[in-house]
Amino acid sequence: MRHPSRTRTRTRALLCGLLAAVLVALSPAAVSAEKKSFRIAWSIYAGWVPWHYIKESGLMKKWADKYGIEVEIVQINDYIESINQYTAGEFDGVTLTSMDALSIPAASGVDTTALLIGDYSNGNDGIVSKTATSIEQLKGTHIHMVELSVSHYLLARALDDAGLRERDVTIVNTSDADIVSAFQTRDVTTVVTWNPLLDEVASRPGSHRLVDSSSIPGHIKDLTVVNTDTLRDNPALGKALAGAWYEMMADLGADTETGIEMREFLGTVSGTDRAGYEAQLAGMHMFWKPTDALAFYTSEQAFGAMDSVRHFSFDHGLLGEGASDADFVGISFPDGKVLGDNGNIKLRFDTTYTQMAADGTL
């Protein structure tokens, strides 16, 4: 089974995001208020598929009932579409990478809060070549990948570290659904992709894994975000989501019968098996405990990573035509630091509910 992609069909996404922002502004629902029913969208990736377990196990209902609300967990097979629907106000929250949180809803004017950081890629994204054994040897070659995605970001960072620029290579936009088959052809020599596709192409005889995301720890983060206004008016949503998430995480990473059964279940949902899912988890730095996430939220590592991501996003036109520089969208952090325009903060990293989970007060 092919995983629904983290593909960035960027022109379509940005246009949809701008249209979504207009629709939200014109909608009566644009003014948030206290409510009792919420919808959270997710798409299949190792860091987000646990929401399916939370739904099917009854954990979500347990925590939602505790706070007198209803939370519907909805799988969307198209990753970009899930973000567009969130941006349009059809969902109260969505799972996505930090780069996409900035470049789609936040850049479209939808004030968004990163409620949960589940993990960051720590080897699950990588560059594989049949002909090159170093990044320097990629100069003058064609590289196949999902353009303007986290793969593109990883490549840009790797080239920069090697003293090269993007103009030194030719990027060929390739759907993640086609990456493996393309790499099997003679003409395609180098690809950039994510797991499980990464391990599949890297296992081909003669292939060389040049660089992976462990070289940029903290840069490719997997988030669960919610609409800031909705969260402000409905703190019960934040409490229920954080409570369900960290109860699930306590078991998912444990070497217990429950943990093994969970990983078996999530492997099947992900189109693989327990061993396959555990291999994907091994390529991620998981924040198993709320205290682990808290330490990262306020770290210089997290701050520096988002600074790099926002500059990449601006340089590649992902912040929209109205962005005059990388400061266009403000990004706030729990310790009071702000990147970009303090008067236009649209992406917020908030530890309120993670702190409650750590304190045992949920």
- Asked if residue 38 lies in contact with residue 90, where contact means CB atoms within 8 angstroms, the answer is no
Per the model's pLDDT, the better-predicted residue between 120 and 18 turns out to be 120
Residue 10 in this model has a pLDDT that exceeds 60: no
164: which strand partners? none
Which helix (H) or strand (E) is 297 found in, with range?
helix 290-297
Q: Percent of the chain scored above 70 by pLDDT?
A: 91
Residue 193 in this model has a pLDDT that exceeds 80: yes
pLDDT at residue 359 in the model: 98
Residues 6+ apart with CB under 8 A from 261: none
Convert the pLDDT of each residue in 74-131 to its tens digit: 999 889 899 999 999 999 999 999 999 999 999 999 999 999 999 999 999 999 999 9
pLDDT at residue 229 in the model: 98
3-state secondary structure at position 40:
strand
Rounded to an integer, what distance in angstroms lies between the CA atom of residue 142 and that of residue 241? 43
Burial (Cβ within 10 Å: 0-12, 13-18, ≥19) of residue 250: middle
Rounded to an integer, what distance in angstroms lies between the CA atom of residue 54 and that of residue 229? 24
Rounded to an integer, what distance in angstroms lies between the CA atom of residue 298 and that of residue 333? 7
Burial (Cβ within 10 Å: 0-12, 13-18, ≥19) of residue 215: middle
Predicted TM-score (pTM) of this structure: 0.89
Torsion (CA) 123, 127, 130, 133 in degrees, nearest 10: -90
Torsion over CA: 313, 303, 79, 280 (sign):
positive
Tokens 């206004």 appear where? 229
DSSP-assigned letter for residue 178: H
pLDDT at residue 5 in the model: 42
When the pLDDT of each residue in the chain is averaged and rounded to a whole number, the result is: 91
pLDDT at residue 32 in the model: 59
Residue 216 in this model has a pLDDT that exceeds 50: yes
Short-list 186, 217, 183, CA closest to 197: 183
- Asked if residue 114 lies in contact with residue 347, where contact means CB atoms within 8 angstroms, the answer is yes
Short-list 155, 97, 31, CA closest to 284: 97
Per the model's pLDDT, the better-predicted residue between 275 and 26 turns out to be 275
Residue 1 in this model has a pLDDT that exceeds 80: no
What is the C-alpha end-to-end distance of the chain, expressed in Å? 38
Q: Residue 325: pLDDT band by 50, 70, 90 thresholds?
A: very high
Residue 185 in this model has a pLDDT that exceeds 80: yes
Convert the pLDDT of each residue in 166-180 to its tens digit: 999 999 999 888 999
Catalogue the E-assigned strands of the chain.
37-42, 70-75, 93-97, 112-121, 125-129, 142-145, 170-173, 190-194, 208-212, 221-227, 284-286, 330-332, 338-339, 345-349
CA distances from 48 to 32, 64, 222, 294, 312 (A): 26, 19, 8, 19, 24
Convert the pLDDT of each residue in 46-60 to its tens digit: 999 999 999 999 999
Short-list 189, 190, 208, CA closest to 151: 190
Residues 6+ apart with CB under 8 A from 127: 135, 143, 154, 155, 158, 190, 191, 192, 209, 210, 211, 212
Residue 21 in this model has a pLDDT that exceeds 70: no
Torsion (CA) 78, 82, 88, 89 in degrees, nearest 10: 150
Q: Residue 260: pLDDT band by 50, 70, 90 thresholds?
A: very high
Q: Residue 155: pLDDT band by 50, 70, 90 thresholds?
A: very high
Residues in the chain: 362
Pick left, alpha or beta for residue 184 (phi over 0 → left; psi -120 to 50 → alpha; otherwise beta). alpha
Rounded to an integer, what distance in angstroms lies between the CA atom of residue 137 and that of residue 117? 35
